[in-house]
């Protein structure tokens, strides 16, 4: 073994960190980049296909209904408020607030899933009914996978923060999850505008 000489000691460094100091945060960012690219690709396909049609939506296809999407978009934006509160509480290691807040996020995410089903119906077109239907569904399905993953993540994290054997570093996961939440809700706004509003504007 090569000889090594001790020139310092890092034993006092913390083991729980938040934000860019934490490796898991970077992993979350990586995941966001990958999924964000995928959502961007769906939007690109949507706009590309749109060029093939003189009217949008194509003839004989109804425009999407706007109620469910409007409610969902509002809910997504609003949900960031408790998420920020939970995020800040996590960074303070304020477990009580985190626990209560995660329960609220569970409620939010369940309602969002329910609204997502309504949003599919609001498209007013089947996925196999012209390329218009296909790209509209593809965009909403792609985002729906984020929602499904986030639903599982929210419930599991809530269970974790209630566990008596909770460790400090698990609290950092709550903060990483908040970052993902901001991404999921933020990415939906332009996509929803594209899929639900552009048939009215073009």
Partner 1 sequence: MSTTLPPRAVPEPGRAPESVAELIPHLEETWKQPPGLWAWLRSVDHKSIGIRTMVTALIFFLLGGLEAATMRAQLARPENTVLGPDAYNQFFTMHGTTMMFLFAVPVMQGLGLYLVPLMVGTRNVSFPRLNAYGYWVYLIGGAFLYVMFLLNTGPDTGWFSYVPLAGPEYAPGKRVDVWAQTITFTEISSLVTATALIVTVFKNRAPGMTLNRIPLFVWAMLVQSFMVLFAMPWVATASQLLAMDRLVGTHFFNQAEGGDPILWQHLFWFFGHPEVYIIAVPGLGIVSSIVATSTRRPVFGYPAMVLSLVATGFLAFGLWVHHMFATGLPQLGESFFSAASMMIAIPTGVQIFCWIATIWAGRPRFTVPFLWVLGFVVVFIIGGFSGVMVASVALDQQVHDTYFVVAHLHYVLLGGAVFPLFGAFYHWFPKMTGRMLSDRLGRWQFWLFLLGVNLTFFPMHQLGLDGMPRRVYTYLPEAGWGRLNLLATVGAVTIAVSVVLLLINVIRSLRTGAPAGENPWGGETLEWATTSAPRPYNFPLIPVVNARSPLWEETGPLRGVAGLRTDVCDVLVTTLLDAEPDNRHRHPPPTIWPLVAALATGVTFITLIFTPWGAVIGFPLLFLGFFGWAWPHGRDHREQLSIEAERPVEAGP
Complex with partner 1: residue 67 or 152, whichever CB lies closer: 152
60 binds partner 1 (CB under 8 A): no
Whole-angstrom distance, CA of residue 157 vs CA of residue 155: 5
Query: Which token pair is 86?
Result: 């939970």
Using CB under 8 A, which residues numbered 97 to 116 contact partner 1? none
- Determine the Cα–Cα distance for residues 2 and 143; give it in Å rounded to an integer: 52
In angstroms, what is the minimal distance from the CB of 106 to partner 1?
A: 16
11 makes contact with partner 1 (CB under 8 A): yes
SS3 137: helix
Cα 100 to Cα 86: distance, rounded to the nearest angstrom: 9
Maximum CA pair distance of the chain? 78
* Residue 59 touching partner 1 (CB under 8 A): no
CB of 177 to partner 1, least distance (A): 11
Using rule CB under 8 A, residue 201 touches partner 1? no
Sign, CA torsion 167/172/173/178:
positive
Mask for 19-38, x = binds partner 1 (CB under 8 A): xxxxx-xxx--xx-xx--xx
Distance CA 130, CA 198 (A): 17
The binding site for partner 1 (CB under 8 A) comprises: 1-23, 25-27, 30-31, 33-34, 37-38, 41-42, 45, 48-49, 52-53, 58, 91-93, 95, 127-128, 130-135, 137-138, 142, 148, 152, 156, 160, 165-171
């Amino acid at each position: 073994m090569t000889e090594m000489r001790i020139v310092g000691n890092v034993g006092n460094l913390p083991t729980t960190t938040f934000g860019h100091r934490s490796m898991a945060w970077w992993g979350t960012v990586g995941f966001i980049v990958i999924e964000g690219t995928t959502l961007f690709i769906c939007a690109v396909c949507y706009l590309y296909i749109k060029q093939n049609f003189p009217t949008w939506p194509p003839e004989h296809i109804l425009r999407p209904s706007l109620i469910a999407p409007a409610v969902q978009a509002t809910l997504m934006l609003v949900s960031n408020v408790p998420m920020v509160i939970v995020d800040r509480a996590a960074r303070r290691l304020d477990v009580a607030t985190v626990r209560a807040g995660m329960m609220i996020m569970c409620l939010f995410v369940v309602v969002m899933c329910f609204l997502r089903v309504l949003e599919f119906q609001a498209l007013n077109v089947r996925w196999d009914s012209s390329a218009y239907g296909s790209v509209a569904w593809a965009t909403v399905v792609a985002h729906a996978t984020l929602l499904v993953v986030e639903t599982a993540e929210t419930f599991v994290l809530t269970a974790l923060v209630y566990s008596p054997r909770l460790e400090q570093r698990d609290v950092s996961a709550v903060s990483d999850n908040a970052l993902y939440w901001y991404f999921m809700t933020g990415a939906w706004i332009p996509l929803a505008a594209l899929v639900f509003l552009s048939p009215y504007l073009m």
